[in-house]
Structure 1
Amino acid sequence: MKKEDCFYLGKIVKKYSYKGELLVKLDTDEPELYENIDAVFMDLRGNLVPFFVESSQLHKSDLLRLKFEDVDTEVDAEALLKSELYLPLELLPKLDGNKFYFHEVIGFKVIDSNFGEVGTITAINDSTAQALFEIDRNGIEILIPMNDEFIVNVDKTNRTIEVKTPEGLIDLYLNE
């Protein structure tokens, strides 16, 4: 299994018990979807290694308490701290309407209601306060906030996203 075929589920943040249980900080708005997982892939020194889940339960809002098979002591658990967990992309719940996962829209064309075709999404920048579409327009990078008020329609079949940005936003990038 390769990392590009998976999505990031979360990170092991601390030990929970002397029996090898661990707490995972989940990267999701819906932690309950992952309460009964059977297995995960753990990134160990750059390789995704399958780990089978003996038991799991939600612990406080966004933490998942996991007990892996063959991880039975504090020492075993200690060795796994700070490891990142991944699941195959096909396990992501399907989203309808204008909702999408960031990885899904890479390569989509962006069309602005006022401006016309803007370019192609090359990445999503979510390191800022508000996530941004990174769009390539003939070698020029254009950033558009991923704001619900700007996104008019997401057409997954035709791989396009229609936006309606404030007048002049796109021109800022082109008139340099």
Structure 2
Amino acid sequence: MEYRKIGSISGTHGLDGQLNLHIEEIYSGFLKKNAFLFIELRSRTYIPYQLVAVRKVHQEFYIASFKDFDNVDDSKAITGKSLYLPVSLLDKIQQKLAPDYLSSFSIKDTHTGFQAKIEQVFESAGQMLAILKHENKEIIIPINEHFIEDIDEKKNIIFLNIPEGLLDIYLD
């Protein structure tokens, strides 16, 4: 299996085994309770570890707890190691972000409850954008990994954390 580096463990945090993580922003959506991150313990030997808790501290910095690491001594053993995800998982996510696939979905903002059907999806300057129609107004919203909170494939809804103020530009 092939893996892609998403970040690293920069140090311990406290005495109960928590770790400081530096994760590239585009992969932040994978940092969820019970998710598995892979640590390269030896050259090309990737071991999965389950996240028990994770919280964002600042931009690309997180404090996380992994299952089986409940004291500072255990955590020190993996400090400085790189974190990885399987490329197959990342590719599956990328396929779900393909324009043809997304055009049958609606977008729902997790903060305001705003919801609208996607009319069109296109790429501009390397970023995926969705055109929504709401009350005869055209709204353009970026769709990327750090805004997506969840995808309900049965109901065809993408739950987004739309940046504050973006909808106001179109709706006011």
State the TM-score, normalized to the length of structure 1: 0.48
Higher relative contact order (CA 8 A, sep 6+): 2
Whose strand fraction is larger, Structure 1's or Structure 2's? 2
State the TM-score, normalized to the length of structure 2: 0.49
